[in-house]
Amino acid sequence: MSDRQILQAMSGLMAGMFVSILAGTVVANALPRIIADLGASQSSYTWVVTAELLAMTATVPLWGKLADLYNQKLLLQISLGLFVVGSLLAGFSHDVSLLIFSRVAQGIGAGGLTALAQVVMAAVIPPRRLGKYAGMFGAVFAVGTVAGPLIGGVLVDTSWLGWRWCFFIGVPFALLAIVLLQRTLKLPTVRREAKIDYLGAFLIVAGVSALLIWVSLAGNSFDWASWQTAALTGGGLLLLVAAVFVESRVPEPIIPLGIFRNRTVTLTTVASLFVGLAMFGGTVFLSQYFQISLGKSPTVAGLMSLPMIMGLLVSSTVAGQLISRTGRWKAYLVAGGVLMTAGLGLLSTIGADTHFGLLSLYMAVMGVGVGMLMQNLVLAAQNDVAATELGAATSVLSFFRSLGGTIGTSVLGAILASRVATEMSKGLQEAGIPAGGGAAGHGAVPDMTKLPAPIREIVEHAYGTATGELFLVATPFAFLAVLAVLFVKEKPLKTTSGMERLAEESGAAGRAEDDAAAPLSAGTPAAPAEKA
């Protein structure tokens, strides 16, 4: 395929990926207004976020397996269709239960887009040329991740639009992606007999969901040390052990355990988990820091994230171009990991009085590191597996990155709540103000416009200090990602696409069968057939 043909085919994929990212980020600044309008509780607030993350993370491996068995273009269009249905339900919701259900549908669709977009890229583009296109996807990821809160803030602040448009805005992009995929993406339909491991799929989804529910609700709905923690963690681990047992014995496992014998896949998977923990866990709270600690509006808070967007966008694009030109990729992984770690370390020094120029520099450093690291981890893994395992390997990396992000968000959120409570109690005591005197209750996000000036200063300081400590906690996880990529062995990038490699592997398998049968046909005659 020429560059023009590839770009045409990628247009639908990039629109779909943008929709997937937007689904998770656009509601960040709108949630307080949504929950207030629907008359819902703080636990409902948590579930609106958690439901989409749970559904996306838990279904990524299943989508990846389906991509190895069925027509990938059709699967992409189905996942986009699910996203459209979920978005419309969410936008028209007048009850928080329907909103949570719609977020599950959105999450399942987003899981398909997360896994399948990169699988299809690997199918049509050789790894040697994939770098620059992976860089473009990194740029789309950057724009969707950080522009989502900005778009959401503008929609909420615009009286004639409102929060419902946070869900409606993704629908035109999803429909456009379905049309573009139909017109531009040409993939052969490989028909073969396949057995879906339904039991394995159920055990994986149930086990992961139990653990994600635990990290999402522990410290908020119940204590970390409680019977609920024991039940969810024990049950989740037992389900996952059962899943490993099943997966090791079925002919068509959802996650082929054999791919973890591949050193590159194992190390890039570990690195993806830590990237998710460090990046998502750290940056998800920046918008809250801008609004509460620095006193900015939702729209301005979104604009303040632009240095991180630009760093990620430029570095992913430039690194992708250089990788395609030179064929060398490991140096970019290592440099990206080091810069991400340095950026998080610098962000750990922020507080309520940090100058925006300094803050912009810190965010840009982290954005540059993430841009060089995230997409190229997938490239390294795809380059080192058989074509028949492209879907499984890609979905495993996406799964562990999402898992790390979900765990990081939940655990760091609990740490943030605890540190804010401690700092506020300390500040109120030093100022001689009775505890709870006009401040937000425990676990609630304060409305800064309704707080008296002395208490507002205490809250701003508390959130500034606590957010800086979050980045300090996230920094060691980024360093572990650096250690993982240091041990990845750099291998030359293949010059054939996934479809071409699949044809070669199928041809080699066929020739091997012919060679095995040759001695029988050329040597000893076969036994005569029995008479009926």
Residue spans of alpha helices (H) in 185-226: 198-217
Please, what is the average pLDDT of the chain? 79
Rounded to an integer, the average pLDDT of 261-266 is: 89
Task: Tell me what pLDDT residue 530 has.
Answer: 41
Task: Kindly report whether the global pTM for this prediction surpasses the value 0.85.
Answer: no
Strand-pairing partners, residue 218, are 222
Q: Cα angle vertex 174, ends 151, 284, to 5°?
A: 40
Q: Tell me the pLDDT band of 144, cut-offs 50, 70 and 90.
A: confident
Q: Cα angle vertex 185, ends 184, 186, to 5°?
A: 115
Task: Tell me what pLDDT residue 193 has.
Answer: 58
**200 vs 520, which has greater pLDDT?**
200
**279 vs 82, which has greater pLDDT?**
82
CA–CA dist 316, 261 (Å, integer): 29
362 to 134, 307, 319, 418, 463: CA distances (angstroms): 25, 9, 20, 25, 18
CA–CA dist 54, 111 (Å, integer): 10
The yes-or-no verdict on residue 141 having pLDDT over 80 is no
**141 vs 378, which has greater pLDDT?**
378
Rounded to an integer, the average pLDDT of 239-258 is: 84
CB 174 within 8 A of CB 23: no
Question: 371, exposed or middle or buried, with CB in 10 Å at 0-12, 13-18, 19+?
Answer: buried
Q: Tell me the pLDDT band of 237, cut-offs 50, 70 and 90.
A: very high
448 to 296, 339, 429, 452, 456: CA distances (angstroms): 10, 34, 20, 9, 6
Is 290 in a helix, a strand, or coil? helix
Sign of CA dihedral 341, 113, 287, 462: negative
Task: Tell me what pLDDT residue 422 has.
Answer: 84
**DSSP label of 293:** I
Is 289 in a helix, a strand, or coil? helix
Is 222 in a helix, a strand, or coil? strand
Rounded to an integer, the average pLDDT of 513-519 is: 55
In the chain, pLDDT over 70 holds for what percent of residues?
83
* Backbone angle region of 387, left / alpha / beta, with phi > 0 → left and psi within -120 to 50 → alpha: alpha
Q: Tell me the pLDDT band of 392, cut-offs 50, 70 and 90.
A: confident
The yes-or-no verdict on residue 520 having pLDDT over 50 is no
Q: Tell me the pLDDT band of 114, cut-offs 50, 70 and 90.
A: confident
Sign of CA dihedral 323, 328, 329, 335: negative
b/e map of 483-515 (b: 16 or more CB within 10 Å)?
A: ebbeebeeeebbeebbbebbeeeeeeeeeeeee
The yes-or-no verdict on residue 466 having pLDDT over 90 is no
Closest residue by Cα to residue 292 from 400, 448, 101, 134: 448
Q: Tell me the pLDDT band of 390, cut-offs 50, 70 and 90.
A: confident
Q: Tell me the pLDDT band of 340, cut-offs 50, 70 and 90.
A: very high
CB 397 within 8 A of CB 381: yes
Task: Tell me what pLDDT residue 444 has.
Answer: 54
CB 344 within 8 A of CB 325: no
Q: SS in 3 state form for 116-139?
A: HHHHHHHHHCCHHHHHHHHHHHHH
CA–CA dist 141, 464 (Å, integer): 27
Rounded to an integer, the average pLDDT of 76-100 is: 89
Sign of CA dihedral 349, 355, 357, 359: positive
Q: Cα angle vertex 65, ends 374, 267, to 5°?
A: 35
CA–CA dist 282, 409 (Å, integer): 7
CA–CA dist 108, 156 (Å, integer): 26
Lowest mean pLDDT among 56-70, 98-112, 337-351: 56-70
CB 464 within 8 A of CB 416: no
CB 90 within 8 A of CB 167: yes
Closest residue by Cα to residue 141 from 328, 337, 460, 405: 405
Q: Tell me the pLDDT band of 337, cut-offs 50, 70 and 90.
A: very high
Highest mean pLDDT range out of 146-155, 190-199, 332-341, 417-426?
332-341
CB 204 within 8 A of CB 178: no
Q: How many CA atoms lie within 13 A of 226 on its CB side?
A: 13
CB 61 within 8 A of CB 254: yes
In residues, how long is the chain? 532
Q: Tell me the pLDDT band of 376, cut-offs 50, 70 and 90.
A: confident
DSSP H/E element including 461: helix 453-486
Q: Which two tokens stand for residue 395?
A: 């979905």
Is 484 in a helix, a strand, or coil? helix
Task: Tell me what pLDDT residue 487 has.
Answer: 92
The yes-or-no verdict on residue 283 having pLDDT over 50 is yes
The yes-or-no verdict on residue 298 having pLDDT over 80 is no
CB 425 within 8 A of CB 435: yes
CB 87 within 8 A of CB 171: yes
CB 172 within 8 A of CB 208: no
